[in-house]
Amino acid sequence: MVEPKARSNNANADQDQFLTILSREDALSRFEAALFPRDLVSETRTLAGALGLALAGDVVAVVDVPPFDRSNVDGFAVRSTNVVSASEASPVRLGLNDEAIACGVAPKVLVTDNSATLIATGGPIPRGADAVVMIEHTQPAGMGAIEIRRSVSPGQFVSYAGSDIARGEVLLRAGTLMGSREIGMLAASGVAHVQVTKRPRVAIISTGDELVQPGQPLRPASIFDTNGAIVTAAVSENGGDAHFLGAFPDDEDKLEAVMRGALEASDMLILSGGTSKGEGDVSHRIVARLGKPGILAHGVALKPGKPLCLAVCGGKPVVILPGFPTSAMFTFHDMIVPVLRRLAGLPPRNDARVMAKVPVRIASELGRTEFVMVSLVEGDDEFIAYPTGKGSGAITSFAQADGFIRIDALAEQMLAETRAEVTLFTPHVRVPDLVIVGSHCTGLDLVTAPLAQAGLSVRSISVGSLGGLSAARRGECDLAPIHLLDEKSDTYNRSFITDGLDLVPGYRRMQGIVFRMGDNRFEGLHADEAVRTALQDRSCLMVNRNQGAGTRILIDRLLGGTKPDGYWNQPRSHNAVAAAVAQNRADWGMTIEPVARAAGLGFIPFAEEHYDFALVTSRKERPAVRAFLDALRSLEVRKALEQAGFRPA
Ligand code: AMP
Ligand code: MG
């Protein structure tokens, strides 16, 4: 797009700004200083209408609860001095007053010496009485009299006025989030309306030519708008009144019109994408024109999340989150949630933080605050936070992650065994019943399916066979799925099982060559022959696997030291290999048979791999582990595995 001159200048100014990278702390304090202190808008709401909102001020009790001295039991109101000597052996006889005090009945008759009045639970204590004898400890004694068979102390079974809530007492503090418990307390004190902080109205906009809303068909090279949905939900979770306006192409004039309208109508504007230095990145240029004081930070020493842009325009916060969904999530939870909650009158989210031990060393870049996604599992006496999908930026790593830890900008690493604070994506930790750490396989889902049906939650963390084995040795998981070939003995898995672990046989999976059906370079050949042909054809492109994968060992064996074209294309999963071949980005690769079949590709078997489980012996008796072992041996699961192309052991 050719831009008018004035705009280009503006853009240059922005780029200069981007060169000044602020620390996380500086960026946050500039942002907060430009927004606070400020008066929050409050509104009056009914109790029911206040659910989920924050109280704008303290609520003081205007009445006592209970409002009068009240009986806690069904029985007789008496003067305690009259029944001091009462016992089963020598009951005391009292005259019955001509009154029965039910709930909601105001007493009229005085309880005089040697008299008693029938009273129900919740009934007001009549004048003259100071205690209640339970009905179980009395006996009718003819017309107009009662026998008392137990002595009572003064005040027994009486709740005094104001003993629950005293008039003038602060019932709830400003900032309290209104839930059913708070609503109940206020109802008990006769409060019908409360002043709550108005939810800030937050407009959310996604930007990017490539974005398509979920539910719409994908165009070539387009992707689904993920940030729109996540940010909208996360804003609601943190006290905002979220309004998602859609995804807009990187068209400066149109986007500016949308952003101006959105800011006009809202208290806060959150965009994502278009914040880097690229030509097509326009949103930050628009933000620079939206009002004073303008951009406060553009470029923050975060990893990931460096292009974060924080601004205040006409007193309203305007944020551009980085485009990558994981970066957007980290920066949103770490930097935006605190501000949003303050605008909503809510206290900091303490329920969304837990301490946990990080079992492994994590290297970190010096000079940038680093976010690392973690998955929580229950250790012996504390939570353990497992780093997951580090640096992948993959949205699916969210599925396994409970939250993230922050590694300080001045640290080059986080040492193994460090205790770190985990910021949860959603409050309250849900610890899984069964933790599987190791090599992932699509067959595993078939084995765990019956557990999910039985209400057991399973967390499966993919770290490869060797990583899983270490986790099992440290007792951080129940099971580690492994497929490790011992080259010396040419056997799978057994030689890797050390003290404290048991080997549970899993299933076999055929590894082999995938190719597009009908490709004569492969059709009908043995694996060795097929690879020889492929190596002779210079136009034939392979797709490899990552270092450390069991499959990679097999590929290297087959190639015998040659590195043909495509060797450096090293995706991390069986499915990525199949996708590369199916989409014509490569002609052959190695994957497991079920994946090749599911992708409709040709397959030449090469080696049968043993996919087994290293079981942590001390966890053998856990119900979820037993359920897993039962499932693995069940006829149903074995059938399902066979159908998917696996061979149960
Ligand atoms: P950008 O900062 O606009 O260059 O975006 C960086 C990366 O994030 C690109 O790969 C975008 O396609 C991706 N991205 C941007 N916005 C979204 C979104 N709303 N949902 C999913 N991915 C996005
Ligand atoms: Mg973009």
Asked whether 411 and 356 are in contact (CB, 8 A), the reply is no
What fold is seen in the domain 11-38+199-343? Molybdenum Cofactor Biosythetic Enzyme; Chain A (3.40.980)
- Residue where the block lists tokens 């097929």: 530
Architecture of domain 42-65+164-197: Alpha-Beta Complex (3.90)
Nearest-atom number in ligand 1 for the CA of 395 is 21
For the chain, the structural domain boundaries read: 11-38+199-343, 42-65+164-197, 70-159, 353-424, 432-458+472-649
What is the bridge-based pairing of β-strands 413-414 and 485-486?
Answer: unpaired
Asked whether 172 and 182 are in contact (CB, 8 A), the reply is yes
- Residue of minimum CA distance from atom 5 in ligand 1: 323
Nearest-atom number in ligand 1 for the CA of 324 is 8
Residue 323, exposed/middle/buried by CB under 10 A (0-12, 13-18, 19+)? Answer: buried
Q: Amino acid letter at 515?
A: F
Count CB atoms within 10 A of the CB of residue 83.
23
Nearest-atom number in ligand 1 for the CA of 250 is 3
Residue 201 has a pLDDT of 98
Q: What is the DSSP string of 507-569?
A: EEEEEEEEE-TT-TTTTT--HHHHHHHHHH-TT--EE---TT-HHHHHHHHHHTT---TTTT-
**What DSSP character marks residue 300?**
B
Q: From the CA of 190, how far away is ligand 2's center (Å)?
A: 54
Task: Report whether residue 324 contacts ligand 1, using a CB cutoff of 6 Å.
Answer: yes
**CATH class of this structure's domain 70-159:** mainly beta
State the pTM of this model.
0.78
CA distance 254 to 252: 6
Closest ligand to Cα 320: 1
- Residue where the block lists tokens 């960026």: 27
Task: Report whether residue 274 contacts ligand 1, using a CB cutoff of 6 Å.
Answer: yes
**What DSSP character marks residue 600?**
T
Residue 20, exposed/middle/buried by CB under 10 A (0-12, 13-18, 19+)? Answer: exposed
Residue 397 has a pLDDT of 66
Rg (Cα) of the chain, in Å, rounded? Answer: 35
Q: Ligand 2 being an ion, which residues bring their Cβ within 5 A of it?
A: 208, 273-274
CA distance 452 to 391: 29
Task: Report whether residue 248 contacts ligand 1, using a CB cutoff of 6 Å.
Answer: no
The β-bridge partners of 437 are 461
CA distance 330 to 5: 36
Closest ligand to Cα 275: 1
Mutate which of 18, 207, 209, 223 for ligand 1? The one with the most ligand atoms within 8 Å of its CB, which is: 223
- Is residue 37 reached through a cis peptide bond, with omega within 30 degrees of 0 on the bond before it? yes
- Angle at alpha carbon of residue 37, lines to 32 and 43, rounded to 5°: 115
**CATH class of this structure's domain 432-458+472-649:** alpha beta
Nearest-atom number in ligand 1 for the CA of 274 is 3
Task: Report whether residue 276 contacts ligand 1, using a CB cutoff of 6 Å.
Answer: yes
Which of 448, 454, 455 lies closest to 481, judged by CA? 448
CA distance 15 to 20: 9
What proportions of the chain, in percent to the nearest 5, are helix, strand and coil?
Answer: 30, 30, 40
Residue 633 has a pLDDT of 96
Task: Report whether residue 232 contacts ligand 1, using a CB cutoff of 6 Å.
Answer: no
What fold is seen in the domain 353-424? Beta-clip (2.40.340)
CA distance 514 to 596: 6
Residue 317, classed as helix, strand or coil, is strand
- Residue of minimum CA distance from atom 6 in ligand 1: 323
Nearest-atom number in ligand 1 for the CA of 276 is 2
Over the stretch 584-596, which tens digit does the pLDDT of each residue have?
999 999 999 999 9
Pseudo-torsion of CA 366, 372, 377, 382, nearest 10°?
40
Residue 113, classed as helix, strand or coil, is coil
Residue 11 has a pLDDT of 42
Nearest-atom number in ligand 1 for the CA of 275 is 2
Task: Report whether residue 97 contacts ligand 1, using a CB cutoff of 6 Å.
Answer: no
Residue 391 has a pLDDT of 54
Q: Rounded to 5 degrees, what are φ and ψ at 624?
A: -70, -35
Cα separations (Å) of 645 from 69, 549, 573? Answer: 75, 20, 17
Count CB atoms within 10 A of the CB of residue 335.
22
The encoded tokens of residue 591 equal 């994957």
Over the stretch 442-486, which tens digit does the pLDDT of each residue have?
899 999 999 989 999 998 887 778 888 988 998 889 999 999 888
CA distance 377 to 73: 47
- Residue where the block lists tokens 């605008």: 343
Q: From the CA of 227, how far away is ligand 1's center (Å)?
A: 8
Q: From the CA of 273, how far away is ligand 1's center (Å)?
A: 5
Q: From the CA of 208, how far away is ligand 1's center (Å)?
A: 7
The ranges of the chain with pLDDT < 70 are 1-19, 389-397, 399, 548
